[in-house]
Structure 1
Amino acid sequence: MPVLRAMQFGAHLLFFLLLAVGVVRTVTDSAHPVPIVALAVVVAGWYLFGIWFAQREGFENGEPVQRRSGQIWFAALGLGWLALVVADVNFVWLAFALFFLCFPLFSTPVALTVTIMLTAIAIAATLWHGTTNTVASILGPVFGAAAAAGMAVVYQQLVRQSAQRQQLVDELTEAHRELLGAQDELVALQREAGALTERSRLARDIHDTLAQGFSSILLLSRAGQRAPDNSAAVFAQIADTAQQNLIEARRVVDALAPVALESAPLESALRRLLDQLEQQTGITGDLLTDSDPIPLVTDFDVALLRVAQSALANVRLHSRARRVRVTLSYASDEVRLDIVDDGIGFDQRQDGGFGLRSMRERLAELGGTLVVESAPGDGTAVAATLPIGRVA
């Protein structure tokens, strides 16, 4: 702080000016000035040593060990001043510089006590050496001590405020550093969350498209082996399924909407799924639309189509069903997709596998729900519901 540095420099300058005045007057007035001047040089050297030591150790931190060292230094300086005062009265006024040193080194009560002692010594030394103006010799040190003590108190308040401001700056700097660290962690977490989200999307899309396509190819291949006379038709279906899988693979990688939704509405895409199921497995598929269709956002169409693909794949692979019914219902606040088969069903107490979990996660991301009802020998019903909070 510039003001504090200026006051420190002023206190040091005052000490050396008063010491120089005392030396000059001693050389002028004393018959034997050499011992006194030598003692003054020692006191000046000790003072300079204190300045150097304070700068090296950082007295301004105010730690107990540092203050104790400063108090020892001040006591030695005080003894040197006392010797000068006893030798020559011209060094009495050096007490003013000592007043400024008390408050940074001692607590306020102790500093006031030391100031009073220095004032008493200055007055006693003046009277002991003899004076022509007793009142001035008493009032001078008293007023000087009061002024010096007042300035020292102001200086201490400035030091305290400066330390508080520095502490606040340090706390703000640390808080800023912690905030930057938290932001870096947040960015890393967001990046990790984005990677996990993308990995989950790929897993769901691969399961609902490519895995189902491969299952169809596998079933068609086995059917061709059992009926070699119909191999041409089977190979045509395999080629068509593989072609669709290739297209879907590219769209999954690019995070594009299914090709079935590009040129036709959701109802037509569901109809094509049922036709393919019937052609490849012989399972009869019925599509019912309850009420007039409502245009939906692409995300909703994609989610419902993927749920239908996954559910019909389960029908194909596990249900042994003869008929499956798909119902698409539109209400004022929701759209619902029901897929019901007359197959063998399953025990819901068992884990439904990745397919059901994938359907639930896909719908949950859009605020929807999935309900599955099934029992051994009683078929399976899957109901996917999405809230209509936005339209296309």
Structure 2
Amino acid sequence: MRGRAPPIHWVDMHSSPLAPVFTALRAALHTMAAVLAVVVAVRAVGSGGATSVAAMTLAALWFAIYASGVVLVRSSRAGWWWLAALSLVWLGCLSVSGEAVYLVFVMFFLYLHLAGMRWGTVCVAMSTGAAVVGFGMHNGWSVAAAIGPILGAAVAVVISAGYQRLFDEVRSRQLLIDELLATRAELADEQREVGRARERERLAGEIHDTVSQSLSSIQMLIYAAERRAGGHSPELRTARTAAADALAETRRLIDELTPAPLDGRSLSAALQRVTDDAGGHGLSTRLVVDGEPFGLPMPVEAALVRVAQSAIGNVVQHARARVLRVTLTYSSDEVHLDIVDDGAGFDADVASGFGLTTMRRRVRELGGDLDVVSEPGHTSVAVGFRVEAGLR
């Protein structure tokens, strides 16, 4: 039923700062039910007569059903049966004792909570009428006898409306908090992964630029010395072999630290793989390599591959594009990567997503430039690095 809230005990608000408030409200309702049931039973005893035993029994049965429902009922369908049983027992008690009118105040809150404000108000109005009629049949008709249940019903409606609004507000805030916590955890994991990847790339670059280059130079020097010795020096030959083995091991270590798409591949081959993967999502893809390829510092190659992965991933997920073109251009002292699609585009001036921010930071840290131009039907991501001949 639309607008219906779940029963009090079905809602987990333990993590909410307002949990004590809801606990206090539940405790107050349970206490009121117990006190009123005792009042009805005691007053029935005091009235004497043949109906007193029936009134006491029905009051006790009513509270037993109430208490069992609080503990056992776990679904909305069972809640309706529980409420129907309470209503029937209450009406039976009211038929034999006018004192049972007191129990209607607990019923008001149960109707409003289980049936929601719309249908709950209808139930409250009907039970108010039943209470006035039942009390009048046993104690006579008067305006004062009618005012009590009516005022009680009005107060119950106002309190339940406030409770429902508070409940909805707390629930929406709790959902928002849960989403924020989950997002924060995801971002933390992603940042840690990015940090590990950047550190791996940095280490690979350092090893490539220092240890690998030094071992290569040592190997060449030993080879030159061996040639001058006429190739008859077993010590130099052993040293050259050891240097070659160390260089091979260093290169293997660099490969392990290199991003996966570059593992065992040239830059163009890695970009071809990333581009082909996008073609599996219904895009028409093409990679163009312009100019004479030359060796690039490993961090630059890794950055180009990572930018391509991120930009092409955005095209696949968000652009609704049909055509994707990737161009790798080598000039005398520069390398450029252009990723162009014909998708829906976006506002590049205000875009600040994590992927775009990461691309900008990665390129900027290596001294490169990244430009993004986007409009409906055309989006381009252009990356450029200036590469000195001695760093190739």
Give the TM bin, normalised by the shorter chain.
0.5 to 0.7
Residue ranges of structure 1 left out of the alignment (5+ in a row): 58-65, 226-230, 254-348, 372-382, 388-392
Question: Residues 155-234 of structure 1: matches in 2 within 5 Å?
Answer: 155-202=163-210, 204-206=212-214, 208-221=216-229, 224=230
Question: Residues 63-74 of structure 1: matches in 2 within 5 Å?
Answer: 66-74=75-83
Q: Which moved more, 1:93-102 or 1:168-177?
A: 168-177
1:75 maps to which of 73, 84, 88: 84
Larger Rg: 1
Q: What letter matches 1:101 in structure 2?
A: L
1:49 maps to which of 52, 68, 76: 68
Paired with 1:212 and 1:72, the residues of 2 have a C-alpha distance of 90
Question: Residues 256-271 of structure 1: matches in 2 within 5 Å?
Answer: none
Deviation at 1:386, TM superposition (A): 8.2
Deviation at 1:129, TM superposition (A): 2.1
Paired with 2:174 and 2:25, the residues of 1 have a C-alpha distance of 19
Paired with 1:115 and 1:350, the residues of 2 have a C-alpha distance of 83
Deviation at 1:125, TM superposition (A): 0.8
The answer on 1:115 being equivalent to 2:124 is yes
Whether contact under 8 Å (2:54, 2:96) holds in the other structure is no
Paired with 1:363 and 1:164, the residues of 2 have a C-alpha distance of 46
Whether contact under 8 Å (1:103, 1:156) holds in the other structure is no
Paired with 1:99 and 1:195, the residues of 2 have a C-alpha distance of 70
Q: What's the counterpart of residue 103 of structure 1?
A: 112
Paired with 1:21 and 1:103, the residues of 2 have a C-alpha distance of 23
CA-based RMSD of the aligned residues comes to 3.7
Residue 49 of structure 2 aligns to a residue whose secondary structure is coil
The answer on 1:29 being equivalent to 2:47 is yes
Q: What letter matches 1:196 in structure 2?
A: A
Q: What's the counterpart of residue 154 of structure 2?
A: 146
Deviation at 1:127, TM superposition (A): 2.2
What percent of counterpart residues are identical? 25
Paired with 1:4 and 1:71, the residues of 2 have a C-alpha distance of 22
Deviation at 1:89, TM superposition (A): 0.4
2:297 maps to which of 361, 364, 387: 361
Q: Deviations over 1:115-162 (max 9, x none)?
A: 01110110111222241x511122221111001111111111121122
Residue 118 of structure 2 aligns to a residue whose secondary structure is helix
How many pairs were matched up?
244
Q: Deviations over 1:8-60 (max 9, x none)?
A: 11111111211111111100003122232122211111111011125xx4xxx
Quick one: structure 1 residues 350 and 98, their matched pair in 2 at CA, closer, same or farther if it must change by over 3 Å? Answer: closer
Q: What letter matches 1:175 in structure 2?
A: T
- The TM-score, its normalising length taken from structure 2, stands at 0.54
2:133 maps to which of 110, 119, 124: 124
Deviation at 1:218, TM superposition (A): 3.9
Paired with 1:138 and 1:41, the residues of 2 have a C-alpha distance of 26
Paired with 2:114 and 2:38, the residues of 1 have a C-alpha distance of 24
Q: Which moved more, 1:82-91 or 1:136-145?
A: 136-145
Q: What's the counterpart of residue 264 of structure 2?
A: none
Paired with 1:108 and 1:364, the residues of 2 have a C-alpha distance of 64
- The TM-score, its normalising length taken from structure 1, stands at 0.54
Q: What's the counterpart of residue 102 of structure 2?
A: 93
Question: Residues 327-338 of structure 1: matches in 2 within 5 Å?
Answer: none
Residue ranges of structure 2 left out of the alignment (5+ in a row): 1-18, 251-289, 302-330, 334-386
Q: What letter matches 2:41 in structure 1?
A: V
The answer on 1:134 being equivalent to 2:155 is no
Residue 297 of structure 2 aligns to a residue whose secondary structure is helix
Q: What's the counterpart of residue 3 of structure 1?
A: 21
Q: What's the counterpart of residue 342 of structure 2?
A: none
Whether contact under 8 Å (2:208, 2:298) holds in the other structure is no
Paired with 2:298 and 2:37, the residues of 1 have a C-alpha distance of 88
